[in-house]
Amino acid sequence: MIEPRLAAFLVMRATALALAVLVLGHFAVTHLVNDVAETGSSFVLRRWSSALWLAWDWTMLATALAHAGAGIWLLIDEQAPAARVRRLLHMGLAATVGVLLAVGTAALAVAGLR
Amino acid sequence: MSALQLAFAVVLSTLLAGVVLFTVFTVRIAVTDRPTTARGRWLERIGRASDRDVQRWAFVAHRATGVAVFAFLALHVFDVALYAVSPARFDDVHELYGTAVMRVFECLLLFAILFHTLNGLRLVLLDVVEVRLATARLLLHVALGLTAVSGTLASVVILKPVLA
């Protein structure tokens, strides 16, 4: 079995390149190509009527959460003072990431099927 | 201001305060854990960056920007999810994104994302290719330069509508 710290590093490295494209692309579309004031519900309606953008957004969400989850897991592992605190924080992190993935996936599913 | 807008503003402010606290916490650890530096109050040690410490500051900045971007992501998932509940409610909160204050925040967020991305690509490269310390430092300066230039240019575009 791979050591958990190494696994976390591998997850971060594996997702880094994809995120560079997905996140900078997302920011460019919502703030530079379009002005942010014009990205209201009519913009979202147009964007999410395309399967490609739904796939982009879900991939970005899942990849970002994997990357951030691994990064913060390491951060807690290194900076939490005691084993008990560390376990609690790790559990809190897992719950947070799980909730964000569930909420984001549900939102995309509901809006995509509407 | 509607209740939803107020909730968004309160959560965002709380997250920002948390990010600032975390940054101070991380900087303190980085400074006080440094065995190469003479003893003294942690604030006094900040300016004395030796060659090795440059990489260390990059590490601290990488962590701080990573936590900052994740904090915003956590809020952003919810404000976008409002669209699935009701497009009108989504628009209500989304209106805030066009305000001058939020546009300044968006610029800061972009600088954080740019630094984290460019320095992150440097870290991936350093994992793959064996380079000398001087080269690694040069790459860090390239990442910082690109962050400053592209971040400033994009900030002009983002702020233009409210600078009239």
Test mutation, A100, A101, A113, chain B, max B CBs within 10 A: A100
The model's pLDDT over B109-155, given as tens digits with 9 standing for 90+, comes to 999 999 999 999 999 999 899 988 889 999 999 999 999 999 999 99
pTM: 0.92
Average pLDDT in the B63-92 region?
Answer: 97
For chain B, how many structural domains are there in total?
A: 1
- What's the pLDDT at A79? 87
A113 in B contact zone (CB under 8 Å):
no
Domain of residue B130 covers 3-162
Average pLDDT in the B18-31 region?
Answer: 89
The model's pLDDT over A10-50, given as tens digits with 9 standing for 90+, comes to 999 999 999 999 999 999 999 999 999 999 999 999 999 99
- What's the pLDDT at A30? 96
Three-class DSSP labels, chain A: CCCHHHHHHHHHHHHHHHHHHHHHHHHHHHHHHCCHHHCCHHHHHHHCCCHHHHHHHHHHHHHHHHHHHHHHHHHHHHHCCCHHHHHHHHHHHHHHHHHHHHHHHHHHHHHHHC
Both structure tokens of B66: 């990573």
> Which residues of chain A from 1 to 20 reach within 8 Å of chain B, CB to CB?
13, 16-17, 19-20
- What's the pLDDT at B42? 61
- What's the pLDDT at B51? 58
Test mutation, B26, B69, B73, chain A, max A CBs within 10 A: B73
Average pLDDT in the B87-100 region?
Answer: 97
CB B31 within 8 A of CB B46: yes
CATH number assigned to the domain comprising residue B95: 1.20.1300.10
- Interface ipTM: 0.95
B133 backbone dihedrals φ, ψ, rounded to 5°: -55, -40
- What's the pLDDT at A81? 79
Instruction: List CB contacts of B139: < 8 A, sequence separation 6 or more.
Output: B122, B125, B126, B131
Residue B55 pLDDT greater than 90, yes or no: no
d(CA B105, CA A105): 26
Average pLDDT in the B5-16 region?
Answer: 97
B92 in A contact zone (CB under 8 Å):
no
The CATH code for residues A4-113 is: 1.20.1300.10
A88 in B contact zone (CB under 8 Å):
no
Residue B37 pLDDT greater than 50, yes or no: no
Work out the percent of chain B whose per-residue pLDDT is above 90.
73
**Residues of B whose CB is below 8 A from A96:** 74
Query: In this complex, do B127 and A20 lie within 8 Å of one another by their Cβ atoms?
Result: no
Three-class DSSP labels, B85-118: HCHHHHHHHHHHHHCHHHHHHHHHHHHHHHHHHH
